[in-house]
Chains A and B, each alone.
Chain A
Amino acid sequence: MSTELYNDGPVVHQPTFIDGHSVEIPELRILDQDGTTYPNADLPDIDQTLATKIYKTLTFHRVFDERMVSSQRQGRLSFYMTALGEEATSVGGAAALKPQDMIMMQYREQGALMFRGFSLKNFMNQLFSNADDLGKGRQMPIHYGSKELNCMTVSSTLATQIPQATGYAYGQKLQGLDAVTICYFGEGAASEGDFHAGLNMAAVQEAPVIFFCRNNGYAISTPAEEQFRGNGIASRGVGYGIKTIRIDGNDILAVLKATQIARAYAVKESKPVLIEAMSYRLGAHSTSDDPSGYRTKEEEAKWQRHDPILRMKNWMLKQNWWDEAQETALLEKYREEVLAAVKVAEVIDKPHIDTMITDVYDVPSAQLQAQLDEVKAHVKKYPEAYPFTAGKF
């Protein structure tokens, strides 16, 4: 059987090399920047209710990012990462899924959580690592997660979630659930060994997982041409025997359409899908980064013109599903809400000192308990050095 596998193509008698770029990969585009849809395009399954929910989520995302960067600049927040210019990939992807589907994020997909209804309070509590944070203040800002909303908690280690998504999806399949796992990652993370591991295992083990790559042109300062020389990430999916599509990641209708089809296929056939969404990281990598050191203003300006939120707004206006008065009112509402939430979250206490040793194991070991007791005695001795915890236990 294995020898047949190698011989099922044509045989030649002169050396014939295949060029890596010889396979053309088309890019799905449904919506033009002016808000019109291409005449022959297949529209996704969308009505006014869903469209409005998506548009509001995108708008909220933009406002939230702007406000939180300001908060970081003011020194109220230690760290932040925006998804400027890429909001359609996370929001559109989540909008194509069912609530029981698991979402695994890299870190620039908070839009998926916003679409699922993660509360403003939950976002703020995580960002300010206070006592009410679901993650108990242990991880850096933007490392969100929610069991209730089926959104796996983010970790900093790039691409580790990719083989995990395969395993998670395999578990869903074993249980016979009508559920898939979507796994987001950037084009930089796709260079990690875990990308190879996750995609190959998903193909071989036939796991219903949607691999969603945000190809935004940069991994921090490294441009895509220093990340890979093949035809993007999509060409690799073909090599693993995975059904693959490339889409315009700034086109919300293309994101929605591709993900809707991918979900239906993954559930029905119990097989993986790879989506490569072409986009551009309009903002800095994080609040610790300044992109002016490695790219031009002209390049950024060019991509400003492809703004995914503006594109959807143009479409919504043309559909008569939205108007400027609604837009102004919504922006004002969101700005006020976010600012008010910052003020509430930043004054909530830090987590209790006892949470330092819980959840390392299901039950803290005797050794851990002894170590905590030692720290507590120390804090009591030098209360002025530990203002967050002193006098609070």
Chain B
Amino acid sequence: MAKINLLHAINSALDIAMADNERTVCFGEDVGHFGGVFRATSGLQEKYGKARCFNSPLVEQGIIGFANGLAAQGSVAIAEIQFADYIFPAFDQIVNEAAKFRYRTGNEFNVGKLTIRTPYGGGIAGGLYHSQSPEAYFAHTPGLKVVIPRNPYQAKGLLLASIRDDNPVVFFEPKRLYRASVGEVPEEDYQLPLGKAEVVETGTDITLLAWGAQMEIIEKAAKMASNEGISCEVIDLRTILPWDIETISHSVMKTGRLLISQEAPLTAGFASEIAATIQSECFLHLESPIARVCGLDTPYPLALEKEYVSDHLKVYEAIKKTVNF
């Protein structure tokens, strides 16, 4: 075990995946010798050669189109999109192609060996185009898996599982935590299960649910609430699609209350999907309306970022309101 940051954990997972299977290829903008603008692919070209870790031209639809072909051929394709904000030019290749590949070909072909890594989320003064959390767009797409880790240990284990999963995975990395989040990470190979939420803290009064960088926000709010005698059960969803309905409904049946918090805008965000499902699964157990603490339905602003984000104070207020309903 060593204490490393989230970026090093990603780099370690990529290193293991490339050493483990010589058909693994990493590529994207500035991914090669430079090692990526965040240095996630640092040292990989030196170690595995230019043919397996390289810069692509600046064209997102090309990166994912190329990755689809490479994965269909049987290579393990790990594509990087520099910021999640710039994944939209590749939306067609992800939604119409990658997600539907196996289904439309009757399993004659598939792109199960595709993983798309991309930094997401706000809190870094990134303005409109370096702050977005687009997971809900992809959650509406059957055939994809969508995964978001919250710390270095999760990042390494979930990324290795995503790379080896036989389905195309969109892996969102919380860039605000790239260097800020440091923790114990095993040096060896390990995997964490996809499609499984994790109960981070047990509690009895209310279930708090989030994913990615938003986890530290709800954990902070849970501490504030516990000082007032409110016992929060804190859950990390980890996989957005397909999501772990069982763990969440099990918790809500116990606590009777649910608060979901996300960075992305409120309307049609993934919290809406969770709220609707849990309302249907746990109707007789709910003692208050399900609360959603989310970004505003605006583009992500620069100067008013602090006011915009769903911070721990907003979550704390929503906890009290829900418990006192």
Point out residues on A near B: beta carbons under 8 Å. 102, 133-136, 138-139, 143, 145-147, 152-153, 155, 157, 160, 162-172, 174-175, 181, 193-194, 196-198, 200-201, 204-205, 358-362, 365-368
> Are B93's CB and A160's CB within 8 A?
yes
Q: Does B102 lie at the interface of the complex (its beta carbon under 8 Å from any beta carbon of A)?
A: yes
Interface status of B126 (Cβ within 8 A of chain A): no
Task: Among A134, A138, A167, A200, point to the contact of B69 (Cβ < 8 A).
Answer: A167
Q: Is the CB of A157 within 8 A of B97?
A: yes
Contact indicator A170/B70 (Cβ below 8 Å): yes
Q: Hey, which chain B residues are within 8 Å of A146, CB to CB?
A: 108
Q: Find B106's partner among A133, A165, A193, A200 (CB 8 Å cutoff).
A: A133
Shortest distance between the CB of B35 and any CB in chain A (Å): 19
Q: Does B73 contact A (CB under 8 A)?
A: yes
Selected interface stretch from B55-63, B170-178, B213-221, B255-263: B55-63
CB of B297 closer than 8 Å to a CB of A: no
Please measure, in the bound complex, the distance between the C-alpha atom of A193 and the C-alpha atom of B100, giving whole angstroms: 20
Q: Is A163 in contact with B69, judged by CB distance below 8 angstroms?
A: yes
Verify A171–B70 contact, CB threshold 8 A: yes
Q: Report Cα–Cα, A200/B56, bound state, in Å.
A: 10
Contact present for B106 and A168 (CB under 8 Å) = no
Main secondary structure of the interface of B (DSSP, over half): mixed
Q: List 16 A-B contacts (CB under 8 A).
A: A134-B106, A139-B104, A145-B108, A164-B72, A166-B66, A181-B69, A194-B92, A196-B62, A197-B66, A358-B107, A359-B103, A359-B106, A360-B102, A360-B143, A362-B110, A366-B245
Whether B105 sits at the interface, judged by CB under 8 Å, is yes
Q: Which of B54, B92, B107 contacts A157 (CB 8 A)?
A: B92
- Our pick among B56, B97, B166 for the contact of A362 (Cβ within 8 Å) is B166
Contacts of B23 in A (CB 8 A): 171, 174-175
Contact residues in B for A204 (Cβ distance below 8 Å) = 56-57
Which chain A residue shows the least CB distance to B107? A359
- B57 contacts A201, C-beta separation under 8 Å: yes
Chain B residues within an 8 Å CB radius of A359 = 102-103, 106-107
A152 to B102, CA, bound (A): 12
Q: With A147-B109, A167-B68 as known contacts, state yes or no: A172 contacts B62, CB within 8 Å.
A: no
A362 to B102, CA, bound (A): 8
Residue of A nearest to B244 (CB): A366
Measured in the bound complex, the distance between the Cα atoms of B101 and A138 in whole Å is 12
For chain B, give the interface size range.
Answer: 35 or more
**Do B109 and A155 touch across chains, with their CB atoms under 8 A apart?**
no
Residues in chain A near residue B106, CB distance under 8 A: 133-136, 138, 145, 153, 359
8 A Cβ contacts from B184-214 to A: 195
Cα of A203 to Cα of B110 in the assembled complex, Å:
25
- Give the residues in chain B near A143, CB-CB below 8 Å: 104
CB-nearest residue of chain B relative to A200?
B57
Contacts of B77 in A (CB 8 A): 167
Asked if B45 is at the interface of the complex by the 8 Å CB criterion, the answer is no
Q: Is A174 in contact with B143, judged by CB distance below 8 angstroms?
A: no
Are A205 and B54 within 8 A (Cβ)? Answer: yes
Give the docked Cα–Cα distance between A219 and B145 (Å): 35
Chain A residues in 8 Å Cβ range of B226: none
B residues 83-115 in Cβ contact with A at 8 Å: 89, 92-93, 96-97, 100, 102-110, 112
Asked whether, in the complex, the Cβ of A160 is within 8 Å of the Cβ of B59, the reply is no
